[in-house]
Amino acid sequence: MTGDILGIVAQIVLLIFVGALLRRMQVLRVEHASLLNSLVINLTLPATVFLAIRKLQGQDWQSLLKVVLVAYLVIGASGLVAYLFSRLLRLERRTIGAFIIVAMLGSTAFLGYPLVEGLFRPANLPECSQLSDPACAAFCEEHSEECNAYARAVGAAAFYSEMGTLIPILTVAVVIASRYGEGERFSWRNLLAVLKFGPFVALLIGLLFYNDAIPDVIVGMLKILQSATVPLIMLSLGITISWGDFFGRHFKGILAVNVIKLLLAPGLALLLAGLLGISGEVRSVTVLMSALPSLMICLSYANQYKLDIEFASNALFASFFLGVVTLPVVAYFISTY
């Protein structure tokens, strides 16, 4: 598992460098990032979520709700610790807001789904929209244990991401960004954005119709969109990142935020999973999802609410770079114990 994670994360980090190179060559510019982010939020990420939900069959729903609880507790605790660290470091007000949301939120959809697919998908499983499709059903008759483990892993990833992370992104993170920002102010109408946010709509539709047949042409189109999610978002990070201040005034803050996001969060998730009786693939996915690098949407919030976008960009890149080291360590630990 550790070698697979290292390979997957290394490929993603290389995509960030490709984005930076394209910016250097003036093929892409910073203003293109908003278009890339819009395509991800409104097209490719909803397709990713919908296809993940289609694999929810024979799930232990009680276990999945425990996964959501772990996500809420980890995010809340990370935010509280980040606030305490920001006060200790005497950060500027707009930097505090960026510090907290970067420490709280992980790339559970952008990176989490591809990671779980790469780690838990059976090697010879045919391409299909759901495990009950004829091609996959025939395979799973002979490899029922592998398919069941894969379904449990995908279910845990979907619930941690869409129920456990998406709701805080659209509520708590907005409140924090508004509280510490210098731009747009929070309105309770912002919370209505949850109901029309593309990935959340895809989650609801997927849950309502995950057992129903869908034409192959639609599934094929969704898979094409799904495959574009990670490249688009990593290129966006590559063209927006500021490379100049990793070892300057932001160094301590960047280090602290990544200790919280990459080490404290998965440690807490592991503890909570044990206390709640979560085991097997669901436990592994829960801890891995909590250990993921920070979320790209933090950059959008930093820009919209006038937070310290330079700090947010540097901290985000550092989390992906350091994740190449920490994610394999976390994977080794949970596979050993």
Pair 58, 212: CB distance under 8 Å: no
For residue 42, is pLDDT > 70?
yes
What's the CA gap between 202 and 113, in Å, rounded? 15
Q: How many residues are present in the chain?
A: 337
- Which of 73-77, 107-111, 184-188, 331-335 is predicted least confidently? 184-188
Q: For residue 3, what pLDDT is reported?
A: 53
Span 221-242, mean pLDDT? Answer: 81
| 113-157 per-position pLDDT tens digit | 777 877 787 877 777 656 666 777 777 777 778 888 888 888 888
pLDDT at residue 248, rounded to an integer:
60
Q: What average pLDDT does this structure show over 166-182? A: 81
∠ CA 54-171-105, nearest 5°, is 70
- Residue carrying the six token digits 């100049």: 244
Task: Tell me how far CA of residue 244 lies from CA of 35, 38, 302, in angstroms.
Answer: 25, 27, 18
State the Cα–Cα distance between residues 226 and 49, nearest whole angstrom: 9
User: Which of 145, 158, 137, 130 has the alpha carbon at shortest distance from 282?
Assistant: 158
Q: Count structural domains, the chain.
A: 1
**What's residue 31's pLDDT?**
81
The pLDDT-based confidence of 223 (bands split at 50, 70, 90) is: confident
Within 10 angstroms of residue 269's Cβ, the number of other Cβ atoms is: 27
**Highest mean predicted confidence (pLDDT) among 183-192, 218-227, 229-238:** 218-227
Query: CB–CB of 174/301 below 8 Å?
Result: yes
DSSP state of 106: B
Q: Name the residue among 324, 280, 309, 318 with its Cα closest to residue 101.
A: 309
Tell me the average pLDDT of the chain.
81
Instruction: Give per-residue burial for 99-135: e unless 16+ CB within 10 Å, then b.
Output: bbbbbbbbbbbbbbbbbbbebbbeeebeebbbbbbee
The pLDDT assigned to 173 comes to 85
Rounded mean pLDDT of 71-97? 94
Expressed as residue numbers, the domain containing 256 is 2-336
| CATH value at residue 81 | 1.20.1530.20
Cross-strand pairs, 294: 106
CB 161 within 8 A of CB 108: yes
> What is the pLDDT at residue 129?
59
Question: 106 - beta bridge partners?
Answer: 294
Give the pLDDT confidence of 255-271 residue by residue, as tens digits.
999 999 999 999 999 99
- Kindly state the percentage of the chain with pLDDT values over 90: 21
